[in-house]
Amino acid sequence: MSDLKDFAKNWRILLLLALVMLSFLFIGLNGLQFGIDFSGGTQFQIHLGEKITDPAEMSKITAVLFQRMDAYGLKDTKVTSWGNEFVVAQLAETDPKRVEEIESVIKKQGLFEVTLDGNIIFTGNDIIDISRDPSRGYGFRDLANMVEWHLPFMLRDAASQRFTEAAFHKCSVISYDPSSGYVYECEKTYFFLDRPSTAVIVIPQELFLADRQALLAGNSLESIPEGTKIENLLLNAGVPNIVIKDSNISSAQIQKLSSLAEEKRFAVVPSTIDQSTKDLLEGLGFELSEISVAANTSIPWIWEVTGAQQIISLGEDIANMDKASVDQAEKFSNLVIRGFAGDADTAQSELRGLATLLESGSLSVPVESVSKETISPLLGESFLFNAALIAFVALLVVAIVLYIRYRYLQLIIPMVFTALSEVILILGFAAMIHWNLDLAAVAGILAAVGTGVDDQIIITDELSRKGKAAESGSLVTRISRAFFIIMAAAATTIATMSPIIFLGFGLGKLVGFAITTIAGVIIGVFITRPAFGEIAKRVIKD
Backbone angles phi, psi at 448, to 5 degrees: -65, -45
- CA 36/CA 91 separation, integer angstroms: 7
Q: Give the helix ranges, DSSP H, for 261-319.
A: 275-283, 301-305
Instruction: Evaluate whether 338 touches 144 at the Cβ level (below 8 Å).
Output: no
DSSP classification of residue 454:
H
Q: What is the pLDDT of residue 113?
A: 93
pLDDT, one tens digit for every residue, the chain (542 residues): 445 555 557 778 888 889 999 999 988 888 887 777 777 778 888 899 888 888 888 888 888 888 888 777 666 677 888 888 889 888 877 778 888 888 888 888 889 999 999 999 999 889 988 888 888 888 888 887 888 888 899 999 999 999 999 999 999 888 877 777 778 889 999 999 999 988 999 999 999 999 999 999 988 888 888 999 999 999 999 999 999 987 788 889 999 999 999 888 899 999 888 888 899 999 999 989 898 887 767 789 999 999 998 898 888 888 898 888 888 888 888 888 888 888 888 888 888 888 888 888 888 888 888 888 877 766 666 777 777 787 788 778 877 877 787 777 777 788 888 888 888 898 888 888 877 777 777 778 877 777 777 777 777 777 776 544 444 556 667 677 777 777 887 788 888 887 777 665 445 566 777 877 888 888 888 888 888 878 877 777 66
- 442 CB-side CA count, 13 A: 20
At a CB cut-off of 8 Å and minimum separation 6, what does 28 contact?
Answer: none
- CA 404/CA 388 separation, integer angstroms: 25
Q: Under the phi-then-psi rule, with left for phi > 0, alpha for psi from -120 to 50, and beta for the rest, what region is 231?
A: alpha
Q: Under the phi-then-psi rule, with left for phi > 0, alpha for psi from -120 to 50, and beta for the rest, what region is 469?
A: alpha
- CA 111/CA 537 separation, integer angstroms: 68
Q: What is the pLDDT of residue 7?
A: 58
Instruction: Evaluate whether 202 touches 269 at the Cβ level (below 8 Å).
Output: yes
| CB atoms closer than 10 angstroms to residue 352 | 17
- CA 328/CA 323 separation, integer angstroms: 6
- CA 333/CA 47 separation, integer angstroms: 36
Backbone angles phi, psi at 81, to 5 degrees: -85, 155
Backbone angles phi, psi at 24, to 5 degrees: -60, -35
Q: Give the helix ranges, DSSP H, for 306-438.
A: 344-360, 377-406, 409-433
- The angle subtended at Cα 40 by Cα 39 and Cα 46, nearest 5°, is 135
Q: Residue 200's closest CA among 232, 244, 250?
A: 244
Residue 310 to residues 135, 209, 337, 522, Cα–Cα distance (Å): 24, 21, 9, 58
| CB atoms closer than 10 angstroms to residue 297 | 13
| CB atoms closer than 10 angstroms to residue 542 | 7
Q: What is the pLDDT of residue 191?
A: 93
- The angle subtended at Cα 505 by Cα 49 and Cα 511, nearest 5°, is 125
Helix crossing, 529-541 with 11-30: angle to 10°?
140
Helix (H, G, I), strand (E, B) or coil at 74: coil
- 512 CB-side CA count, 13 A: 21
Q: Under the phi-then-psi rule, with left for phi > 0, alpha for psi from -120 to 50, and beta for the rest, what region is 51?
A: beta
- CA 417/CA 399 separation, integer angstroms: 10
- CA 315/CA 125 separation, integer angstroms: 24
Residue 169 to residues 72, 127, 260, 315, 325, Cα–Cα distance (Å): 41, 24, 35, 10, 9
- CA 229/CA 137 separation, integer angstroms: 30
At a CB cut-off of 8 Å and minimum separation 6, what does 369 contact?
Answer: 46, 47, 107
Q: Residue 237's closest CA among 287, 186, 203?
A: 203
- Bridging pattern class, strands 127-130 and 147-155: antiparallel
Backbone angles phi, psi at 338, to 5 degrees: -120, 140
Q: What is the CA radius of gyration of the chain?
A: 34
Q: Residue 75's closest CA among 48, 47, 38, 105?
A: 38
For residue 372, the one-letter residue type is: K
Instruction: Evaluate whether 280 touches 244 at the Cβ level (below 8 Å).
Output: no
Instruction: Evaluate whether 134 touches 252 at the Cβ level (below 8 Å).
Output: no
Domains of the chain: 2-36+377-541 (1.20.1640.10), 41-107 (3.30.70.3400), 112-194+307-352 (3.30.1360), 196-306 (3.40.50)
- Exposed, middle or buried: residue 432 (CB in 10 Å: 0-12, 13-18, 19+)? middle
Instruction: Evaluate whether 267 touches 287 at the Cβ level (below 8 Å).
Output: yes
| CB atoms closer than 10 angstroms to residue 106 | 24
DSSP classification of residue 314:
P
- Bridging pattern class, strands 199-204 and 334-341: unpaired
- CA 270/CA 89 separation, integer angstroms: 30
